[in-house]
Amino acid sequence: MRLSRLAALIFIVLALAAGLYDLSPVLAGERARLHGLGEIWFALSPGSLNLLQAVTQRYLWPPLWDPGMTWLLVQPALAVFALPAAFFALISAMKR
């Protein structure tokens, strides 16, 4: 399996998981809404998100976290994963 096909498959699975997470309130009788990537990440593992922030700001480059990563974390997770999935699927289809 080519790397672009594998990357597309991984991002498709992540986009589907984010979409299911967005639809989970429907089971409780509430309205569905798009959750930000950071909101989902914090719900799953707040410690790893805080660790990534500390490492990025202390050892890499502080502007990489703020405004760079903070902008990405507030975007809807479905879009964050669906766009790269479409990109890698397109690359994979063009190689054939």
Q: For residue 76, which phi and psi values (nearest 5 degrees)?
A: -60, 130
Q: What is the pTM of this model?
A: 0.85
**Following DSSP, what letter does each residue of 26-74 receive, concatenated?**
HHTTS---PPBHHHHHHHH-HHHHHHHHHHIIIII-HHIIIIIIHHHHH
How many domains would you assign to the chain? Answer: 1
Q: What's the pLDDT at 2?
A: 86
Q: For residue 59, give its domain range.
A: 3-95
Q: What's the pLDDT at 1?
A: 62
Sequential pLDDT tens for the chain (96 residues): 689 899 999 999 999 999 999 988 888 888 888 999 999 999 999 999 999 999 999 999 999 999 999 999 999 999 999 999 999 999 999 876
CB count within 10 Å of CB 69 equals: 18
